[in-house]
A and B are shown apart, each in its own frame.
Chain A
Amino acid sequence: MNTTTRETTIAADPNAPTIIITREFDAPVESVFRAHVEPELVRRWLGPRGLEMDIDRFDCETGGAYRYTHRDENGEYRFYGSFHEVRPDERIVQTFTFEGFPDGVSLETMTFTDLGDGRTRIDGLSFYDSVETRDLVLSSGMDHGVREGYERLDELLAG
């Protein structure tokens, strides 16, 4: 247990289609970055608890791409995207799409900041195509509820 680790903070501007998530880690920036780049490490934390995560592809480098699958008793949820820019120990910019709703795409920028004393902060900015989509993502959690959320979006769009 890391008692000095601060809890995740979240900001969702009512007027901008963004979610900003910030968290500090008791580990040097090189390690935190590695845990985002190496698929064997990513697999151990990125998938939601109770869901299996299969990585079909994970080339975390500028111009690379990823695709992975979460599985539970109700089915499979596939996600994919491109790595627009991967700058070691500083920044990862990627797109993010849920295959169940291929027209939806968000742009995610993760900034890694070396806080000194072996500590690191990650600022993650997710940018959606509308405030409406952002709110759907927030309300569904984008993990377990992802299908439900997009079904709601379908209804909304059907009018």
Chain B
Amino acid sequence: MDDQLSRVFSALADPTRRDMVARLTAADATVNELAEPYDVSVQAVSKHLKVLEEAGLVSRSREAQRRPVHLEAEVFDLMTKWIERYRRRAEERYRRLDDVLAEMDTEQPTPRPDSERGAS
């Protein structure tokens, strides 16, 4: 799993590959279709696809002659889960801050020398 994560990260570190992935969220596409908007050869696009394929981000149908490239949504679900987990940790931290703020209401405010000096 760790190795797959590493492959996903390095696969998505490249802007062209991120763009290809973004386009594949709309629909499957052939290598030629994917290569169209870029100023690079079909071979270069094939290399990018190989990296994405090895990371498990895309797959290519073996049957159809066009061999369209298909985005594997599961991997993206995984990333969505990481983001959600990160968000939840921030929320937990901020709930503790809510508690501290509620307690501060009843505590004596302490002087803040720096801002007091600059205020007048």
| Contact between A48 and B93, CB atoms less than 8 A apart | yes
| A55 CB–B CB distance under 8 Å | no
- Which residues of B come within 8 Å of A, CB atoms? 2-3, 5-6, 9-10, 12-13, 15, 18, 22, 79, 82-83, 85-87, 89-94, 96-102, 104-105, 109-110, 112, 114-115, 118
- In the complex, identify which listed stretch (A39-47, A66-74, A97-105) lies at the interface while the others stay far away: A39-47
Shortest Cβ distance from A112 into chain B, in angstroms? 12
Specify the chain B residue showing the minimal Cβ separation from A145.
B85
Which A residues touch B93, using CB under 8 A?
45-46, 48
Q: Which A residues between 141 and 155 are near B, CB-CB below 8 angstroms?
A: 141-143, 152, 155
A156 touches B101 (CB 8 A): no
> Contacts of B2 on A, CB cut-off 8 Å?
152, 155
- For residue B86, which residues in chain A have a CB less than 8 angstroms away from its CB? 10, 19, 137-138, 141-142
Cα separation A60 to B94 with both chains bound (whole Å): 19
Which residue of chain B is the closest to A139 with respect to CB atoms? B82
Chain A contacts for B100, CB-based, 8 A: 35, 41, 44-45
Are A34 and B104 in contact, CB atoms less than 8 angstroms apart?
yes
Least CB distance, A58 to chain B, in whole angstroms: 14
Contacts of B101 in A (CB 8 A): 25-27, 31-32, 35
- Closest B residue to A22 by CB, please name it: B90
**A contact residues, range:** 35 or more
Query: How many angstroms from the CA of A14 to the CA of B14 in the assembled complex?
Result: 11
Give the distance in Å from the alpha carbon of A24 to the alpha carbon of B104 in the complex: 17
- From B85, B87, B104, give the contact of A31 (CB < 8 A): B104
- Which residues of chain B come closer than 8 Å to A15, judged between CB atoms? 15, 18
Q: From the candidates A12, A25, A156, name the one contacting B98 in the complex (CB within 8 A).
A: A25
**With A138-B83, A155-B6 already in contact, 13 other A-B pairs whose C-beta atoms are closer than 8 Å:** A10-B83, A14-B12, A15-B15, A23-B90, A23-B91, A25-B101, A27-B98, A44-B100, A45-B94, A45-B99, A49-B92, A88-B118, A141-B85
